[in-house]
Structure 1
Amino acid sequence: MSTSSAQEARQAVGRKLRDLRKRAGLTVTGLGVRCGWHHSKTSRIENGRTAPSVTDIRLWCQACDASDEVEGLLSKVLAAEEMYTEWRHRVRSGMKHLQGASVSLFDRTRLFRVYSSTLVPGLLQTEGYASALLTTIAAFREVPVADGPGAAAARVERSRIIHEAGRRIVLLVEESALRHQIGAAEAMAAQLGHLLAAGALPAVSLGIIPHSTPERRHWPVETFHMYDDRLVSIELLSARVRITQPAEVSVYLNAFERLRSMAVYGADARALIVQAIGALR
């Protein structure tokens, strides 16, 4: 993740701490002596290789006679570490609890943009599809309580936001996402049938990028969610990455628009969904 927003934010904290040390006239070794740690730790923190703890920040600022900088630095450290959150920490309280963690973010968002190369987006998942998917994820991540069905119900409840006035939901999926069978054939058929209905909702724009798209303007990328123009969330196998830096958000917005230009809508999109239903065994 050396090029991620999280790493860049951590490096920015390190630069600020380095500036404080130099302003205080301390060497790397001198700061280490005052704080009671080896000088190599100072270097790791300043270069963004190690995230400083709350105690580290307080000791550092005390050593540099800059106690007024503590709170500002602590908020920056917290923001940096929240950008990259390991799944094993997030799922400790169960998959159902995890679904509820995004409710406030959903409530604040007016424009949702989602690109998915592999799965039906969560906002349009049926309970059967979501249950099969989340049960598999829970088993893979060794969640103590196999709460896939409960998490699925919470996800569907959260998705009711697509019916609320004042929201706009723009969803792009690769055609392959219609073909990956999640759960039993009956659950998959119900999911695809739901897409036919959901695509007609006034607030929803559902685009499908066909396999046969000639000379693609953009290659398939990782699934990502955009919340208004302020946050991009990327769910990796091992972690979730949250991007808030405007320059990086713009990169994903540019990619989204290029992908959207290749998608088909309306009758053409429905035809691809019907074909996927017909291919189920």
Structure 2
Amino acid sequence: MSTDFQDARVALGARLRELRDEAGLTGRAMADRTGWQQSKISKLETGRQTAQPADLDVWVEAVGRPDVSAELHAQLGGLETSYRSWRRQLSGGHRARQEEAVAETRRTKRIRAFESARVPGLLQTADYARHLLALNATFSESPRDTDEAVRTRMRRQEALYEPGRRFQFIVWEAALHVAVCPPVVMAAQLDRLVGAIGLDTIELGIIPLGAQLARTPAHGFWIYDDRLVIVETINAEMWLDSESDIALYSRAWDFLRRSAVYGHEAHRSIARVRMSLDIS
């Protein structure tokens, strides 16, 4: 969880506690009025649990302060702008999130991306993307709109061929061994990566499994110009736009880049993986 998100959650909790104190209610009395466990009151007030919009409605009614409802909802809304749960984003399927990715890519001149467990979306073949999105839909129990999501992801890739843009990818070699699709599909995907090496707008680096690392590849992240970092976790995406977060992830990018190989060496790394596939 990002520090900015947790700080915002703690600040919201502090405001909730302030309202309870002003109403002269103890934690037990607040639990009685809301019908909640006292542990939930404590977790909300200390920032250990994220309030839901309905929770805020119950809270303002319990403390007799409907006038602060808009304030609390705005505070929660600002928090959720950075912390976007997959449950909410994928409630209607994957296509909407892919459309958002298209929009962010269009307004960005330079993208830096690091992936440790999969091929970057902008470099995926349609077949690879289809298998990956289908697996994600199964795990997240979201509606299956795989074909529409794949078409949108492929449309996003049109930006790779537009002059004036710069795409810099770093992929840990381990991602090329992850079996999210049949070997024949993975072989075509690896061929796609080799073809991308020669594009003027693309810089593709591979971190070999045996490389000496300047830092461990904790998780994937994307940097859009110097205005936004997007980080995916199992349950949510973090959209980080503070100067400190952007500087931190840019530094992580620089450290990972030191361990990557490019050009012919990257080609050889990909070729080694392809030769290991059983496509007979």
Shorter-chain TM-score above 0.5: yes
Matches of residues 1-281 of structure 1 in structure 2 within 5 Å?
A: 1=1, 4-15=3-14, 27=24, 29=26, 37=34, 44-50=43-49, 51=51, 53=53, 55=57, 63=65, 73-145=72-144, 147-214=145-212, 216-281=213-278
Q: Judge conservation of contact 1:119–1:177 (CA < 8 Å) in 2.
A: yes
CA–CA distance in structure 2, aligned partners of residues 280 and 13 of structure 1: 51
Matched AA of 2:210: S
- Cα separation, partners in 2 of 1:37 and 1:93, compared to 1, 3 Å: closer
**SS of aligned partner of 1:264:** coil
- Cα separation, partners in 2 of 1:253 and 1:19, compared to 1, 3 Å: farther
What are the superposed Cα offsets for residues 209-235 of structure 1, whole Å, 9 maximum, x if unpaired?
Answer: 111213x21112111112222322222
Structure 1 residues without counterparts, runs of 5 or longer: none
CA–CA distance in structure 1, aligned partners of residues 203 and 122 of structure 2: 12
What are the superposed Cα offsets for residues 59-90 of structure 1, whole Å, 9 maximum, x if unpaired?
Answer: 699849xx5x7656533321212333332332
**SS of aligned partner of 1:211:** coil
Q: Identity percentage over the alignment?
A: 34
CA–CA distance in structure 2, aligned partners of residues 239 and 59 of structure 1: 30
Q: CA deviation at 1:180?
A: 2.2
**SS of aligned partner of 1:166:** coil
Matched AA of 1:105: E
Matched AA of 1:241: M
- Cα separation, partners in 2 of 1:277 and 1:7, compared to 1, 3 Å: same
CA–CA distance in structure 2, aligned partners of residues 200 and 111 of structure 1: 18
Q: CA deviation at 1:264?
A: 0.7
CA–CA distance in structure 2, aligned partners of residues 72 and 103 of structure 1: 32
CA–CA distance in structure 2, aligned partners of residues 267 and 113 of structure 1: 21
Moved more, 95-104 or 253-262: 95-104
Q: Judge conservation of contact 1:45–1:52 (CA < 8 Å) in 2.
A: no
The two structures have a TM-score, normalised by structure 2, of 0.82
CA–CA distance in structure 1, aligned partners of residues 72 and 108 of structure 2: 28
**SS of aligned partner of 2:269:** helix
Q: Judge conservation of contact 1:11–1:46 (CA < 8 Å) in 2.
A: yes
**SS of aligned partner of 1:102:** helix
CA–CA distance in structure 1, aligned partners of residues 14 and 228 of structure 2: 24
Q: CA deviation at 1:57?
A: 8.0
What are the superposed Cα offsets for residues 231-279 of structure 1, whole Å, 9 maximum, x if unpaired?
Answer: 2222222322222333233222211110011111111111111222222
Q: CA deviation at 1:104?
A: 2.4
The two structures have a TM-score, normalised by structure 1, of 0.81
- Cα separation, partners in 2 of 1:213 and 1:42, compared to 1, 3 Å: closer
CA–CA distance in structure 1, aligned partners of residues 123 and 11 of structure 2: 38
Moved more, 69-78 or 83-92: 69-78
How many residues are aligned here?
271
**SS of aligned partner of 1:157:** helix
Matched AA of 1:85: R
CA–CA distance in structure 2, aligned partners of residues 179 and 204 of structure 1: 22
- Cα separation, partners in 2 of 1:227 and 1:20, compared to 1, 3 Å: farther
What are the superposed Cα offsets for residues 150-189 of structure 1, whole Å, 9 maximum, x if unpaired?
Answer: 3222211112222223322111001112222332222211
